Structures are given as structure tokens and as C-alpha cells.
């Protein structure tokens, strides 16, 4: 299925980009999760979740262009939002405007932040404060 593999490409790129940055590691350590954070997670942390995915182009069985939207969230226990702002700014610097990254079995063609969201939340059963954004991640799957 194209969507499942295209989502895999987007998540491969998101995780590698976020977890590979030393500045972000200094802010959240290794607390970066796809889907949801485990109950044992420490704070602050980052979670990215698929919001929607749309196959925009299929040229036979050779290529698929897929537009994925991800909710990327910086969360901390209820309290000051100041530290979250630093994390959210670094996420923006790492993701927004990136393009043409070769991945296993495809490519991440473009990434753009679409909107910001500030909200109270619950991550792994803990009341949190969250700064989030929806990022559009365009991927292209290449079949052998």
C-alpha cells in the first residue's frame, strides 16, 4: 500500500531529523516519540502523530506522491510555557523548509509548517502544557 509506506518514509525522516539534533537533545534528551509517549516517559518530550495522509499522485506502479500532515507536539508538565517555546522554535528550524532528502525506498520532498496550536493536554496520563504545530511532509515512494 502506498500510504503505509509513504507514512513510513515521513516518520523515518521526522524521527531521524529530530533525534539527530544535538541542540534538541540538550532540551529533551532522547524523549522523542512517534505516535504516543509511554507512561514512563520523562518531561519535557516531543511526540509526533500522523494527522492525515493523502496520495496526491500515482504514476502507474513506479511512484507515489503523498502529502502527510503530522501534529508535532512539545509537551511538559503543567507550568511555564517558556521552555516549550525554545523546543518548538528548534523543531521549526529543523523541519520547516526542508526539501529533497533521500531516504530508504524514497524521498522527503518538502516540509512546511501549516499552523500552530497551544493547548493543555494529557500525555501518557499526565496533565501537560503543549505547544504543537501541524507540519505538511510530502514524500515520494520509489519502487524497485
User: Is the domain defined by 2-142 classed in CATH 3.30.2000?
Assistant: yes
Cβ(5)–Cβ(58) under 8 Å?
Answer: no
Choose the weakest-confidence range: 36-45, 58-67, 71-80, 128-137. Answer: 58-67
Distance CA 125, CA 141 (A): 36
The pLDDT value given to residue 89: 95
Distance CA 53, CA 15 (A): 17
Distance CA 109, CA 10 (A): 10
Q: Which of 22-31, 74-83, 99-108, 134-143 has the highest mean pLDDT?
A: 22-31
Cell of 138: 510530502
- Sorted by where each begins, the domain ranges of the chain are 2-142
CA distances from 10 to 24, 43, 117 (A): 19, 24, 21
pTM of the model: 0.86
How sure is the predictor about 66, in pLDDT bands with cuts at 50, 70 and 90? Answer: confident
Amino acid at each position: 500500500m502506498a500510504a503505509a509506506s509513504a507514512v513510513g518514509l515521513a516518520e523515518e525522516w521526522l524521527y531521524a531529523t529530530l533525534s539527530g539534533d544535538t541542540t534538541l537533545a540538550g532540551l529533551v534528551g532522547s524523549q522523542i516519540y512517534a505516535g504516543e509517549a509511554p507512561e514512563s516517559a520523562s518531561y519535557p518530550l516531543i511526540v509526533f502523530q500522523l494527522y492525515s495522509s493523502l496520495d496526491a499522485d500515482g504514476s502507474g506502479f513506479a511512484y507515489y506522491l503523498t502529502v502527510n500532515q503530522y501534529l508535532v507536539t512539545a509537551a511538559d508538565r503543567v507550568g511555564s510555557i517558556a521552555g516549550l517555546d525554545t523546543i518548538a522554535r528548534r523543531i521549526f528550524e529543523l523541519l520547516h523548509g526542508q526539501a529533497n532528502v533521500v531516504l530508504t525506498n524514497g524521498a522527503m520532498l518538502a516540509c512546511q509548517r501549516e499552523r500552530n496550536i497551544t493547548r493543555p493536554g494529557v500525555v501518557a496520563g499526565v496533565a501537560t502544557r503543549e505547544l504543537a504545530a501541524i507540519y505538511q511532509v510530502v514524500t515520494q515512494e520509489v519502487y524497485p
